[in-house]
A and B are shown apart, each in its own frame.
Chain A
Amino acid sequence: MGTPSFRIAMALVVGFALVSVSGCGKKTVQSGGDTQSQAAKGKSSDDASMSGVGSFPDTSMQSSGSPGLRGLDKNPSEERVAGAGGSTMLAKADPGSLGRQVEEMRAEQVASAAAGLRDVFFGYDSWTISEEGRQALGRDAEWLKTNPSAAVKVEGHCDERGTSAYNLVLGEKRAKAVRNYLVELGVSANRLSVVSYGKERPFCAEHAEACYQQNRRGHLVVRSGK
């Protein structure tokens, strides 16, 4: 099921505006030049990341500032005990930022569903693309060729088995395997981005192979913005 490409182009323009706004809004807590260089280049966060290392305060070992133990005393003087409330800041959600995020995700879902992109499923511990996966990606590549302005994000996902950390690496291997195969099929690499969610954004939560299978996936998303 096709969608007129001008509609996607419109969605991309709107999406780009949203990403730009949220990109600036979210960095208010960050100190230093990263935000500036990002704004100066007028590019999205992917490119700003080339700057690499940000500025941040010294993390060298210092006195924690919390009163230490003073030992038992035969005539103890009163010690004031301060609660965690005094030493731990509670998070406050930014409703504007959260709202934009939800909107963007919805836009991506709508665009991806309209495009009819197929996902790729993987075996346990594996990032090899199966014959079935190749067929799915063949159709995805066709769509990308007929929609030359679209950019696609490949999300790498894993099932719940194994460690969180290693599954992030495994998820990236899966996402890159998908990207590389699409490039082999003639899709320009700069239209494809990859991100690994490891086992942190599962499609289902049951502890069973039927669910695990769903979660071992390369998920293709039409990017809103860029």
Chain B
Amino acid sequence: MNRRTLIGIVLGAVCATAGAIGILESGAADVFLEATRPDFQKIPLGVVSIENIGGPEWLGGRLEEVLKKDVKRSLVFELMDLPSLGIKVRDVGNGLENGTKAMFRQAADNGVSVLVWGKAGLKRGEKEDDVNMEGFVYDSGNDEVVGGKRYAGSPSVVRLMAHRFADELVFRYTGEPGIARTKIAYVSAQGAARELFVMDYDGYDSRQLTADGFLNLMPRWSPDRRFLVFTAYRNRNTQDIDMIELATGKRWTLVSYGGLNITPALSPDGNFLAFASSHEGNSELYRLDTRTKAVQRLTTNPAGELSPTWSPTGRELAFVSDRGGGPQLFLMSADGSNVRRLTFEGDYNAAPAWSPRGNWIAYVCRTPRKEYKLCVISPDGQKRMQLTTGGGVDDSPSWSPDGRHLVFSSTADGKSHIYMIDADGKDLERLTFEGTHNSAPNWSPAS
């Protein structure tokens, strides 16, 4: 099999995956977890090096490390260890020098489809120095350097440069925007208070968004990433659903009924806010039209309803109800009709999150040993898997926009921290290490 055929097969597999996803979104019953599909093939990619040209000592290594981790987490590529394949890592310059041709051939012969390298340095600026980064991509299928990127910015955005480059690679080979530039909103304790924070998807560069001194809980992104909606306690005695604009810090109160006002979730088109409120007695679900400000009640039940999560089409909601005793997952149409129970296994199932591909709903399941772990179930109820095991309380699963990962909180290491895991339960990675309590992560949409 020659290289061109191999690339063709790999790309074919990617396209077939994308095609199958398209069918799922249109409502077909078959479901699968794409990363665990037997025919899913990652594209073998090697990062040669990011050479440091006159920059600070850490520059090249930092870029290379961030890029490699992004490539690995993309789950689109298989990150190849070039030295172990006997490929000598050396300066490849712009990829046109004589010696590099031999290296390209050697990599291709060892099954590496894509080679990536680059260089980085400092440019003296008038006010402050600028970091420059160049990245190049060799594709063994085309047997040529297919292109590259040049970035410039302040030294504080070095990680972001690597993230952008990683997302360009994912975009090139899948047409998807990638997740390396996505962010995670979460709640972090500041003394007895809980405030909203945002960090990069890999846990770096966290920023505090609120400083109210009491409780701000359960942030959710708007679909265009401009806002977060969340539960805010006003004067310690009542809850509102508030919205904050990330670029300005400006805040609005969306809902301020008496009683609970919790678990807000904006629809995929941003036109509706689903939320739970107990102002008419017990906790019920409502839908606020964000354009007309009209509110429609969706559920009427003596039990508690909460935690609505939208299907990616916006046509359905999954939610929690304890109408059978303990909390269980239910589905309904977005207008409140056609309610049916989804989970039957176990006596406690809560905190649902509908995957962006539509094919899974992640949630917190209580095991027979009374442990609170992550599970996923298909919307037709036919397939169910437990993703995490062991001690500690897992909570608040939220999907990456590519549907290949989940972020969640867990007390597995003692204090509550935030973790990332692949959608098939592999590659658990801890994201937060500071502070006494980090919880309620919500993954931003891609840009």
Interface of A toward B, CB cutoff 8 Å:
19, 22-23, 26-27, 29-32, 34, 44-46, 48-66, 68-74, 76-85, 87-94, 97-98, 101-102, 104-105, 125, 153, 160-166, 168-169, 172-173, 193-197, 200-201, 207, 223
Residue in A22, A45, A91 whose Cβ sees the most chain B Cβ within 10 Å: A91
User: Are B147 and A72 in contact (CB-based, < 8 A)?
Assistant: yes
Instruction: Provide the residues of chain A in CB contact with B107, threshold 8 Å.
Output: none
Q: CA–CA, A162 to B151, complex, Å?
A: 46
User: Are B195 and A74 in contact (CB-based, < 8 A)?
Assistant: no
Q: CA–CA, A90 to B249, complex, Å?
A: 7
| B 127-150 binary contact with A (CB < 8 Å = 1; else 0) | 000001010010000000111111
User: Are A73 and B149 in contact (CB-based, < 8 A)?
Assistant: yes
Q: CA–CA, A162 to B327, complex, Å?
A: 10
With both chains docked as a complex, state the minimum distance between the C-beta of A163 and any C-beta of chain B, in angstroms.
4
With both chains docked as a complex, state the minimum distance between the C-beta of A60 and any C-beta of chain B, in angstroms.
4
Q: Is B222 an interface residue (CB 8 A)?
A: yes
Q: Nearest CB to that of A53 among chain B residues?
A: B293
User: Are A196 and B372 in contact (CB-based, < 8 A)?
Assistant: no
User: Are B157 and A82 in contact (CB-based, < 8 A)?
Assistant: yes
- CB contact between A59 and one of B172, B192, B227, B364 (< 8 Å): that residue: B227
> Which of B73-81, B161-169, B418-426 participates in binding chain A?
B161-169
- CB contact between A165 and one of B152, B213, B350, B372 (< 8 Å): that residue: B350
Instruction: Provide the residues of chain A in CB contact with B253, threshold 8 Å.
Output: 27, 30, 34, 54, 56
Q: CA–CA, A160 to B247, complex, Å?
A: 34
**A–B complex contacts, Cβ < 8 Å, 14 sampled:** A50-B257, A52-B257, A62-B224, A62-B270, A69-B178, A74-B147, A79-B152, A81-B160, A101-B214, A125-B326, A165-B218, A169-B278, A207-B414, A223-B237
User: Are B246 and A88 in contact (CB-based, < 8 A)?
Assistant: yes
Known: A62-B224, A104-B236. A69 touches B258 (CB 8 A): no
- CB contact between A162 and one of B249, B293, B348 (< 8 Å): that residue: B348
CB within 8 Å of A: which B180-229 residues: 183, 192, 194-196, 198, 200, 205, 207-215, 217-218, 222-227
Instruction: Provide the residues of chain B in CB contact with A166, threshold 8 Å.
Output: 306-307, 320, 322, 327, 350-351
Q: Nearest CB to that of B391 among chain A residues?
A: A207
Q: CA–CA, A60 to B177, complex, Å?
A: 21
User: Are A81 and B164 in contact (CB-based, < 8 A)?
Assistant: yes
User: Are B207 and A88 in contact (CB-based, < 8 A)?
Assistant: yes
Instruction: Provide the residues of chain B in CB contact with A91, threshold 8 Å.
Output: 195-196, 208-211, 249
User: Are A69 and B198 in contact (CB-based, < 8 A)?
Assistant: no
Q: Nearest CB to that of A28 among chain B residues?
A: B251
Q: CA–CA, A1 to B177, complex, Å?
A: 66
Residue in A93, A104, A193 whose Cβ sees the most chain B Cβ within 10 Å: A93
Q: CA–CA, A215 to B383, complex, Å?
A: 36
Q: Nearest CB to that of A196 among chain B residues?
A: B260
With both chains docked as a complex, state the minimum distance between the C-beta of B183 and any C-beta of chain A, in angstroms.
8
Instruction: Provide the residues of chain A in CB contact with B366, threshold 8 Å.
Output: 162
Instruction: Provide the residues of chain B in CB contact with A71, threshold 8 Å.
Output: 147, 168, 171-172
Instruction: Provide the residues of chain B in CB contact with A66, threshold 8 Å.
Output: 225, 447
Known: A91-B208, A207-B411. A162 touches B304 (CB 8 A): no
The total number of A-B Cβ pairs within 8 Å is 274
User: Are B177 and A68 in contact (CB-based, < 8 A)?
Assistant: yes
- Interface size (B, Cβ < 8 Å)? 113
User: Are B393 and A64 in contact (CB-based, < 8 A)?
Assistant: no
Instruction: Provide the residues of chain B in CB contact with A172, threshold 8 Å.
Output: 259-260, 278, 283
Knowing that A53-B295, A69-B164, A89-B246 are A-B contacts, what are 9 other residue pairs whose CB atoms are under 8 Å apart, sorted by A's residue number?
A: A49-B258, A55-B293, A62-B224, A62-B226, A69-B167, A74-B146, A80-B153, A91-B211, A194-B259
10 smallest A-B Cβ distances: which pairs?
A72-B147, A89-B249, A93-B211, A81-B153, A56-B252, A91-B211, A29-B251, A54-B253, A83-B157, A98-B213
Q: Nearest CB to that of B246 among chain A residues?
A: A88
User: Are B256 and A60 in contact (CB-based, < 8 A)?
Assistant: no
Q: Is B323 an interface residue (CB 8 A)?
A: no
Known: A54-B254, A73-B148, A79-B149. A105 touches B236 (CB 8 A): yes
Q: CA–CA, A11 to B183, complex, Å?
A: 46
> Which of B37-45, B53-61, B261-269 participates in binding chain A?
B261-269
Known: A45-B235, A49-B238, A172-B283. A63 touches B154 (CB 8 A): no
Q: Is B359 an interface residue (CB 8 A)?
A: no
Q: CA–CA, A60 to B270, complex, Å?
A: 4
Q: CA–CA, A125 to B283, complex, Å?
A: 17
Q: Nearest CB to that of B229 among chain A residues?
A: A59
Instruction: Provide the residues of chain A in CB contact with B239, threshold 8 Å.
Output: 195
With both chains docked as a complex, state the minimum distance between the C-beta of B157 and any C-beta of chain A, in angstroms.
4
Q: Is B337 an interface residue (CB 8 A)?
A: no
Instruction: Provide the residues of chain A in CB contact with B411, threshold 8 Å.
Output: 160, 207
User: Are B151 and A60 in contact (CB-based, < 8 A)?
Assistant: no
User: Are B256 and A97 in contact (CB-based, < 8 A)?
Assistant: no
Q: Is B271 an interface residue (CB 8 A)?
A: yes
User: Are A56 and B236 in contact (CB-based, < 8 A)?
Assistant: no
Instruction: Provide the residues of chain A in CB contact with B227, threshold 8 Å.
Output: 59
Q: Is B248 an interface residue (CB 8 A)?
A: yes
Q: Nearest CB to that of B213 among chain A residues?
A: A98
Instruction: Provide the residues of chain B in CB contact with A83, threshold 8 Å.
Output: 153-154, 156-157, 160
Instruction: Provide the residues of chain A in CB contact with B293, threshold 8 Å.
Output: 53, 55
Instruction: Provide the residues of chain A in CB contact with B258, threshold 8 Å.
Output: 46, 49-50
Instruction: Provide the residues of chain A in CB contact with B223, threshold 8 Å.
Output: 61
Q: Is B342 an interface residue (CB 8 A)?
A: no
User: Are B247 and A88 in contact (CB-based, < 8 A)?
Assistant: yes
Instruction: Provide the residues of chain A in CB contact with B300, threshold 8 Å.
Output: none
Instruction: Provide the residues of chain A in CB contact with B316, threshold 8 Å.
Output: none
- CB contact between A169 and one of B213, B226, B304 (< 8 Å): that residue: B304
Q: CA–CA, A64 to B209, complex, Å?
A: 19
